[in-house]
């Protein structure tokens, strides 16, 4: 059985989707100043398309960076586990859906990106302190 907090996270994702849709992407499109992306993955168990809303603390014309923090939980988020199985995915950013190939940042890449990530949102630092798990940074290269 999934912990109650997992159901809470799923409910928040649904609520976020509704608010974005109803507001025409005007409300909650940049929480904490970070753009929201919709990540489209393939479920590792079901094989079905899954999607969730995440923030991107760092992005440019060739890549989108995601943080698999799950709020400092001791488990990786489902979307990250899906990408480990099937790294080909899609991201919707600024209303444009684009294919990406996702990979976990190497330790050197993470060391370079982490200060930028924490600068965008200090909460990531507290999430890392909350868990013994090394929070993965995911580089989604635009294809």
pLDDT in tens, 5-58: 565 555 555 554 555 555 455 555 565 678 999 999 999 999 999 999 999 999
Kindly list the distances between the CA atom of residue 44 and the CA atoms of 6, 41, 48, 113, in Å, as whole numbers in the listed order.
17, 9, 8, 27
pLDDT for res 37: 94
Position 137 pLDDT exceeds 80: yes
pLDDT for res 95: 85
Tokens at 22, concatenated: 């109803």
Domains of the chain: 26-142 (2.30.110.10)
pLDDT for res 123: 93
How large is the average pLDDT for residues 73-94?
96
* Helix (H), strand (E) at residue 118: helix 107-120
Chain centroid to Cα 117, Å, comes to 12
């Amino acid at each position: 059985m999934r912990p109650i907090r997992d159901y809470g996270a799923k409910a928040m994702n649904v609520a976020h989707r509704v608010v974005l849709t109803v507001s025409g992407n005007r409300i909650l499109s940049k929480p904490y100043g970070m753009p929201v992306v919709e990540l489209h993955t393939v479920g590792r168990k079901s094989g079905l398309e899954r999607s969730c809303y995440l923030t991107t603390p760092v992005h440019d014309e060739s890549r989108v960076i995601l943080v698999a923090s799950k709020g400092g939980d001791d488990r990786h988020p489902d979307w990250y586990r899906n990408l480990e199985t099937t790294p080909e995915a899609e991201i919707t950013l600024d209303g444009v859906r684009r294919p990406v190939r996702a990979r976990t940042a190497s330790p050197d890449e993470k060391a370079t990106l982490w200060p930028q990530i924490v600068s965008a949102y200090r909460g990531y630092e507290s999430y890392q302190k909350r868990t013994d798990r090394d929070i993965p940074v995911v580089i989604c290269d635009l294809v």
